[in-house]
Amino acid sequence: MSALSGSNLPTTVAMTTIVLLIKCQDQAGIVQAVSAAVYRHGGNIISLDQYSTALEGGQYFMRLAFAVQDWAQQGAAFCDDFAQNVAQTYATDWQVFDSRQRKRMAILVSKADHALLDLLWRWQRGQLACEIACVVSNHDHLRRAVENFGVPFHVVPVHGADKAASEAALQALVADCDLLVLARYMQILSADFVANWSMKIINIHHSFLPAFVGANPYQQAYDKGVKLIGATAHYVTADLDQGPIIEQDVLRVGHRHSVAELRALGQDVERNVLTRAVRWHLDNRVIVAGNKTVVFS
C-alpha cells in the first residue's frame, strides 16, 4: 500500500465562529427563519440558547453561534439576507459578532486594587477574550502594578469644578475602546459621558443591589446588621447604581464581623462577580431588555 502523496491529503479549511444575538416578540417561525439564513450561507450551528417570556408579554431572546468558511466573503451577504428576510419579517433587534475580533477594553480604577488585579491576571492568562488598551485612574497609586503587566497607565485627576475637562481627557484616552470597566472607580460619571457609552460601561458595586446604593455600603450593611453581604456587576446608566444587573453573588456574615472584616470578605465576592460579568459581555452572552438582562452563561 503506497502512502498518500502530499497532493492527496485532505485540505483543512479554517472556520470562523460567528455569534448572533436576537431580541424580538415571541412568534412562530423565528427559529426556523434564523436557522435557514445560517444554512443558506453555508453555516453550521454549533450552539443555540433561547429564552421566552411568552407568559409575561411574549419577548423572545436567542444567542446562536455558528461556524462558517470564508466569513470575509460571506459576512456582508449574510447580514443583508438576514436584515431583509429575518429582521424585517420578525421585527428583530439583532447583533452579529466575529469571534476573531476581540473587543478593546479600558479599566478605570481609583485606589483599591483587588478587582483590577484580578482582571489583569486573568487577561494575562488568556482567560478574557479582549485587548486591554489601558488603565485610567484618578490617582497614581497603582501605576507600578499595572505597568508590570505591560499595560499603559494614565492618570486623569478629577477636581470638582474641572470635571468636564477630566471627562474630556478620559474620553480622548478611551475613544477607540469597545468597553469600559469600572473596577472600583470611585467617581460618578456624568449623564453626558454615560450617554455616549450606552450599555458599554460595567461597574462593580460592593453591595447586593438594590440594597445599600451609593457610598460606604459595607458601613451601611454593618449598621443594618445584615446576615448577607454581596456584590453586583451592572451596566452604568445616568441613575446611580440603577443600571441593568449582569451578575450578583452573596456571602453569609454574622454579628461578630467588623466593618473592616466585611470589607475584606466582600472583596473576594466583588472581583469574582466583576470578572464573570466582564467575561460574559466579551463573549457576547448578554442581551439587555429594558432594565434587565438575559445572560446566556
CA distances from 83 to 50, 59, 79, 89 (A): 20, 19, 6, 9
| DSSP 8-state class, residue 151 | -
What is the rounded radius of gyration, in angstroms, for the C-alpha atoms of the chain?
A: 22
CA distances from 128 to 44, 49, 120, 124, 183 (A): 25, 21, 9, 8, 15
For residue 148, give every residue at least 6 positions away whose Cβ sits within 8 Å of its Cβ, in sequence order, or none.
none
For residues 242 and 194, what is the distance between their CA atoms, to the nearest angstrom?
13
The type of residue at 149 is F
- 190: cell is 456624568
| DSSP 8-state class, residue 240 | T
Asked whether the CA dihedral 222, 228, 242, 284 is positive or negative, the reply is positive
The type of residue at 55 is L
Q: Which residues are catalytic?
A: 241
Q: Nearest-CA neighbor of 72 among 152, 15, 136, 155?
A: 15
Angle CA 19–24–25, to nearest 5: 150
